[in-house]
Structure 1
Amino acid sequence: MKRNNSIDVMRGLVMIIMALDHVRDLLHTTSLSQSPTDLTTTTPALFFTRWVTYLCAPTFVFLSGTSAFLSMNAKQDLVATRRFLLSRGIWLVGLEFSVVNFGMWFDPHFDVLILEVIATIGIGFLILSVLLKLPPRTIGLIGGLIVALHGLITLIPVPENLLLKVLRSLFSPMVFPYGTGKLLFVAYPPVPWLGIMLIGYGAGRFFESTEQSQRRIFLKTGLLSLGLFSLLRGMNLYGDPVNWSSQKNRLYSFLSFINVTKYPPSLQFCLLFLGIMFLILSLVQGINNRWTGIVRVYGKTPLFYFLVHWYLIHPLVFVMVFLQGFKSSDLVFGFNFGRPKTGSGIDLWAVYLIWLFIVLMMYPLCKWYGAYKERHKEQTWLRYL
């Protein structure tokens, strides 16, 4: 299957941005105690450092659906595509609860297991494999209905019943204790993210149009999405569980307006960030220069990048805390990432420097792995990484 340059550029861009959020999460002075989007305590710089990374997950999930469509259309083999989605889905869920979780926590006891974007994409692939017989437009419509209406489910109160909690965790974040002192945290409830994936699958046919048609379609779609977001957000009636409100000044009022809910991804969240994604896709159509070439290197190897970058960032946590005078007995794992309870961390400007360092470190690794995959297409296992 011929690669789509705009998809690779878009993926590469969000992979670069994603690393910023993970460096901030693991290393910033206030990341263990303060929400960067809490307008009562945040600063504009910290807010936007977090907010801009909201683009990553919906884009990655949407383009996973799009890539599934393009692969299906290229092969014209329903059985082979279904088999691949099933096996890749199981593989991604397994990766989440092993390689990804260890890279995130560095806790050999796995006291906290977290279901995030990789497992959610895996679950989405499993469900999409069942829906493949449906026309792409129908699959896209199902996805649109999920995105538009799943917020109604979260309005229903759930009594203390394990089965109902499990069902609710399909739609909203939930924590389940297991074993002795261990927790399973469903941070990315599968159903809302499935809706985004199905929309991406349904939109896959647009990526087979000419560059001029794609530019026009994505521009119109992006503007329409942002227009609907502005209308719903301004009305404060439906589409996000938290209304925006006037703040201490115009800047903070604007921050309130764009401060939408990611967990789970609300309708307004999806309209805003998928709208931004479509505008970027329209801008990068047909652009082939040095910078897009660099970004594509990351976009061609997104899962490899995702797995490896954790193992570059997390050791820096221990370098940081030991340089700051802490001892191994001070380390707290689980949600603390191995950092002491208080007193550790670096300033925001240093977070940006380390982020750039991580991105630069990943470039030759991704370039090497992308070239290796290109030279060894006969090795089918490479399709899973």
Structure 2
Amino acid sequence: MKRQPSIDIVRGIVMIIMALDHVRDLMHVDSITQSPTDLTTTAPLLFFTRWITHLCAPIFVFLAGTSVYLSLQSKNNVSEKRSHLIKRGLFLIVLEFTIINLGLFFDIGFHTLLFEVIAAIGFGFVVLGLLLNIRSQTLGIIGLVIIFCHNLLPLIPFAENSVLKVILSPFFSPAAIPFSGRVFVMGYPPIPWLGIMLTGFAAGRFFEFDSEKRKRIFIKMGLSSLVLFVIIRFINIYGDPALWTSQKDSVFTFLSFINVTKYPPSLLFCLVTLGIMFLLLSIAEQFQSQIKKVTLVYGRVPLFYFVVHFYVIHILTLILLFAQGFSWSQFEFASGTFGRPKGLESGLPLWSIYLIWIFVVALLYKPSAWFGKYKAQKQHWWLRYI
């Protein structure tokens, strides 16, 4: 089956948005000390700067599952696909703990080992590879059960120090596990993200329909997800561990209403982000040609862009610190602050973050376009893993 432009367009959009969050993480003046979604300290623009980037990870993971389905249909070789998926999944996990962790922290001692979205996708690929003989509809049902029900786990009355709780918790909830002077941080608990990937895999069959039928389905699914989000969120009992509350004004009350939990991705988080994704997929191929051209460049090389953009942003962060008068001896890498000195003000205001974000995305356009052409023209075995 030929490559689906709408998938690459939407993936390109979220890759562009993703860079905004990482520029903010590393360079915003308050990113080390404050959460942009903490309603007691944030401002609406800062909140939305973070909130819009909630779209990135779930869409990235969902479409990774969809791409596996389409690839399987084009090759129709389950055993070969299983082998490749497992190998690629393990490769992504290793990549996360080496090249990506290094690009994020610039800590050659690897004092923090962070399990994030690339490792979660790797875990999902390994599991999906083992399950390829199961019908896609069944995998989709399993994925939906995970999405809708994993928020029930905290209600299970495990004994406080039970072995089962200790083993299961990092698979469902964030955790920090110290070892040998280092710490392993489970930032993306893999089971909830696996649910999103399995659902994306099952949704791959919609791309076998003609474009008009597919568009109607995606509009219905997108609107249904968003309506369901509003209903469940308004009831305010289940779907997210953080209930919404009335705030000092209507704007902040609205922010509380949409302030859903990403770690792990709650049911409501999935409904609102994937609902928006379905609407984007329904209109992606109707975008202006220039928008499609630009987004396709990034969407066709997501892993390349993901890895390189971290190094670019981090190098710019170090240049900023030097420009603000800090010396190399003041940089702190082992503490997880990306080199920024603790206890000393550094970083930039929000308006500057947007300018640097645009600069980073523009800077990576030519390299991404080059790598996309290189990957399309060459048949090197290693390109199948990137």
Q: 1:288: Cα distance to partner?
A: 5.9
Relative to structure 1, is the Cα distance of residues 163 and 317 closer, same or farther in structure 2, using a 3 angstrom cutoff? farther
Match in the other structure for 1:295 = 295
Match in the other structure for 2:223 = 223
Q: 1:380: Cα distance to partner?
A: 2.2
SS at match of 2:185: strand
Structure 1 segments, 4+ long, off by >2 Å, are 154-166, 285-288
Match in the other structure for 1:364 = 366
Q: Please say if residues 172 and 264 of structure 2, whose CA atoms lie closer than 8 Å, have aligned partners that are also in contact.
A: yes
**Structure 1 stretch 320-329 or stretch 213-222: which is displaced more?**
320-329
Q: 1:213: Cα distance to partner?
A: 1.0
**Which of 349, 366, 384 pairs up with 1:347?**
349
SS at match of 1:241: coil
Distance (whole Å) between structure 1 residues aligned to residue 92 and residue 349 of structure 2 = 34
Q: 1:330: Cα distance to partner?
A: 1.4
Deviations 1:121-150 (A, max 9, x none): 000011001111111100000000000000
Match in the other structure for 2:160 = 159
Q: 1:332: Cα distance to partner?
A: 1.4
Distance (whole Å) between structure 2 residues aligned to residue 318 and residue 188 of structure 1 = 27
Deviations 1:284-318 (A, max 9, x none): 13546111111100000000000000110001111
Match in the other structure for 2:277 = 277
Relative to structure 1, is the Cα distance of residues 100 and 5 closer, same or farther in structure 2, using a 3 angstrom cutoff? same
SS at match of 1:270: helix
Distance (whole Å) between structure 2 residues aligned to residue 298 and residue 139 of structure 1 = 29
Distance (whole Å) between structure 1 residues aligned to residue 235 and residue 20 of structure 2 = 33
Match in the other structure for 1:68 = 68
One-letter amino acid matched to 1:150: H
Distance (whole Å) between structure 2 residues aligned to residue 255 and residue 111 of structure 1 = 35
Distance (whole Å) between structure 2 residues aligned to residue 337 and residue 16 of structure 1 = 21
TM-score, normalization by structure 2: 0.97
Unaligned stretches of 5+ in structure 1?
A: none
Match in the other structure for 1:118 = 118
Deviations 1:72-104 (A, max 9, x none): 111111101101101100110010000000000
Match in the other structure for 1:338 = 339
Q: 1:164: Cα distance to partner?
A: 3.1
Match in the other structure for 1:31 = 31
Unaligned stretches of 5+ in structure 2?
A: none
Match in the other structure for 1:22 = 22
One-letter amino acid matched to 1:179: S
**Structure 1 stretch 276-285 or stretch 296-305: which is displaced more?**
276-285
Distance (whole Å) between structure 2 residues aligned to residue 147 and residue 154 of structure 1 = 14
One-letter amino acid matched to 1:151: N
Match in the other structure for 2:86 = 86
Q: Please say if residues 215 and 285 of structure 1, whose CA atoms lie closer than 8 Å, have aligned partners that are also in contact.
A: no
**Structure 1 stretch 219-228 or stretch 160-169: which is displaced more?**
160-169
Distance (whole Å) between structure 1 residues aligned to residue 38 and residue 336 of structure 2 = 19
SS at match of 2:173: coil
Q: Please say if residues 285 and 292 of structure 2, whose CA atoms lie closer than 8 Å, have aligned partners that are also in contact.
A: no
Match in the other structure for 2:137 = 137
Root-mean-square deviation (Å): 1.2
Match in the other structure for 2:174 = 173
